[in-house]
Amino acid sequence: MSHRLLSSLILVSSGLALSAQGVFTNANSPTDATCPRVMQEKTELNYKSQYGRNGADASAVRYSQWGDQFFPLAERKDVSPFAAYDEKAKGTSIANLKGKVVLVGLWSTHCDPSAKMLMEFASLYPKRGQYGFEILAVNFDENQQDGGGLEGGWRAISKFRIKNRQFFETSKMPIYTPGLGKEGPSNFMDMVYSVPVLFVVDRQGKLAELHIGYKDGFVGQALMRALRERVPAPAPATAPASAPAPEPAKPSQP
């Protein structure tokens, strides 16, 4: 695999405009690598007050993650049960993509670093057939009550696509929502507290790399590492040793 894969990529102009709201809050500046997850934490008083639940007695807690993990071949976890679903509820699983390198990216409609990862995905997307990889851009917004309506899932994604129509029409890159339970992101990590997150899955359906947070060009670099990797072929089964042929009987003496 030559460096031409990375050097020939041209980022698609996206015109992404994101609002600072939602479970994953927008980054504070364009240089921020992640968007933290903000969740309401209920205190003991909130549950035990004689006056019932006290909504004011809940605090917003910011959870953040950041970092990279690289897994040796012998320590890789099988993540083939993971599945991503398009807007028609058609699923694509890692198991069905074995033989290809798969990039799984978790992103939010309310996160600038997520938008940067989507732009890099879009620049790579046309190359997937030529180089033998696939991209699953998986939205990770959660349903939440916002002004009387539910936000998250395909409702939030549709608004985002309309706002960024030119980007999606140009890139032709599909987007997905994650499966649940055994098909969900828990295949990769227990909890997701920041986005964007990139999972790099090798040709055998095993997790090779995990990256939390965006850095310029990191998607292309991770893809090149995975495509260059030579996974040893399984050892051929050993045939059972054949028993020696019996010796012919000696003629009897006259």
The residues, ordered by sequence, that sit 6+ positions from 115 with a Cβ below 8 Å of its Cβ are 14, 16, 18, 107
What CA–CA distance (Å, rounded) separates 26 from 80? 31
> What does the block give as tokens for 169?
């029409």
What's the confidence (pLDDT) of residue 238?
A: 55
What CA–CA distance (Å, rounded) separates 135 from 105? 8
Per-10-residue mean pLDDT for the chain, 254 residues long?
A: 47 42 67 81 49 51 85 96 95 97 94 92 95 96 55 81 92 94 93 94 98 95 94 52 56 54
What's the confidence (pLDDT) of residue 130?
A: 95
What's the confidence (pLDDT) of residue 27?
A: 73
Domains and CATH numbers, the chain: 66-228 (3.40.30.10)
What CA–CA distance (Å, rounded) separates 138 from 136? 6
What's the confidence (pLDDT) of residue 12?
A: 43
What's the confidence (pLDDT) of residue 49?
A: 45
Place of tokens 């198991």: 95
Place of tokens 């790399």: 209
Q: How far, in Å, are 17, 28, 75, 110, 111 from residue 20 at the CA level?
A: 10, 9, 38, 6, 7
What's the confidence (pLDDT) of residue 155?
A: 82
What's the confidence (pLDDT) of residue 168?
A: 92
